A and B are shown apart, each in its own frame.
Chain A
Amino acid sequence: MQLVPLEMMTIGEHGCVRDVDGSPDFVVRLQEMGLHEGARVRMVKTGSPCILAVNEHRFSLRFDDRATVLVELTR
C-alpha cells in the first residue's frame, strides 16, 4: 500500500483517502465536507489551491500545514 500526501497527486490520478490528520477543527470540517477516510478522490487541478473531485463533487483546497491528508493511489 503506497500512501502519499494529497498534494503529491498529479492531474487525473485517482486515490482513496486513508488518513486525515491535523488541527481538530480543520480535520472535522474536511471530514464533514466529504474528505473522510475511505472517500474516493481524483485530482482535477494541481497547485495551491487545487481542485479535487471527491465522489464526483468538486472542492477547492489550499494545502496548509495544519492538516495532512494521506491518499492511497488506486490508478
Chain B
Amino acid sequence: MLAVEADRVWKYFGDYPALRGSSLQVPQGACMALLGRNGAGKTTLLRILANLSRATKGEVKIFGDASRGDVVRRKTGYLGHGIGVYDDLSAIENLLLFGRLLGVENPEKAAIEALERVGLERVKDGMAREFSRGMRQRLAVARAFLHQPELLLLDEPFTSLDDRAINVLQALLRDALSRGATIVMSTHQIREAMELATNVALLERGKIVHTGPQTPEMLADPGWLYRTYGDRQVQE
C-alpha cells in the first residue's frame, strides 16, 4: 500500500508555478529523500503533503485518503523549517500541549518518554526560550516524534542541527523505519539523507525528473544524481 500518493500536483503562487504536475508515490515503510536545488519546489510539495497548503491542481492521498481527515493527520508527524515549539512554555508544557492536540492517550507519559529519548528530561521544567539552540532543536525533534507517527514529513531536518541533535534525529528515524513508519524528507545534505534513504526523488523547477530506489552510485558520489538526471532535464 502507498503511504503517500501525489498525482500531477500543480501549485501556483500568483502566476508562478512552484510545482508543475509533480507526481510522487511513496510505499509504506520507505524513506524517500526529496532532493533538488533551492527553489525546486521541495518545501512546497512537502507543505501540500502536510496539509499546510492546497494544491492548485492535482490530488494528494495520504494512506489512501484524499480528504486528509483528523485520523490521517494523527498518523502524520511534521518537522518544518521552524522548530515549532513555544518559547514561553517549558519543555514539558510544550509536549503536553502537543500531546493533547495529537490525541495521545497518556500525554504525561508520552511527554516524559519523548524528553528522555532526546536527553532533555533533566531540564523538563525549563522554558524553551532559555534553551541553547541545540536543546531547542532536540525539543522540536521530541515534539515531532511524540505520537510515534506512521508518516514523517521532514523539511530539511538536518539543516543547522548540531552533532548531538543529528545523532538523536538519525537514531529516531532509524527506530521509526524499523517499526514500519514511512519518511519523506527534503534535504540538501545528501550524505546524511543517503544513510537513511531507501528511495530518492529529484525535483527540478517544480517537476519530479527522477524517482527510484537509492543506488550505490548515489551513496558513493552525492553529485551523481544531479549530473545524471538533473542536468539532463535542464538541457532539455
Partners in one complex: no
